Amino acid sequence: MTMYFHLRAVPPSALRNSPTWFQRLFEDDWDTVRERIGRHREEVLDQRYGDVEILYGGIPPNHAPEGPRTQVVLGGRPAFHTDPARPPFMLLTASQVAGVAEFLKGAAFDELWRHARGQLLRPYHQPAAEPEVRGLFAATHRDLTAFYSQTAQYGDAVVKWLMA
């Protein structure tokens, strides 16, 4: 089973503090979400979402101080699912989103890569894989920077959830 980490932007006025509402937010297709909340922006990370967290948070245990750096991927206030076996939803307020956007805009990918390179390349066991792996992380960094920047520009919150 492939796991995906979804991040969806939500205007604060549309946000509901309800596990049922959060569940619907992630079950509905893009057009339904756009119709219900007025617009739609989403970022999806594949099963390597934990590796992306390493890029921003440092090699585990997470050495980054609490703040925008640690909120990029997995951070946020948990909102528990009605089914305790399911992972919680994670919420970032509009203010937290703005902080993450500023962090990402100011973060130099080369510096992030330099600190996390050894850990991120370890599963590939071959130096020839580095250009491709580095390219994937650089593209993810650009996508996350664009997602958070646009979301902050709109003044929106972000709801995150790990989905199968």
- pLDDT of 21 > 60? The answer is yes
How do residues 78-102 score in pLDDT, each as one tens digit? 999 999 899 999 999 999 999 999 9
Q: How many CA atoms lie within 13 A of 8 on its CB side?
A: 28
Domains of the chain: 4-163 (3.40.1760.10)
Model confidence at 65, in pLDDT bands (50, 70, 90)? low
Q: Taking the model in full, what pTM does it have?
A: 0.88
How do residues 104-120 score in pLDDT, each as one tens digit? 999 999 999 999 999 99
Across the chain, mean pLDDT equals 86
How do residues 133-148 score in pLDDT, each as one tens digit? 999 999 999 999 999 9
Please, are residues 29 and 135 in contact by the beta-carbon 8 Å criterion? no
CA distances from 69 to 35, 61, 92, 105, 149 (A): 32, 14, 13, 11, 14
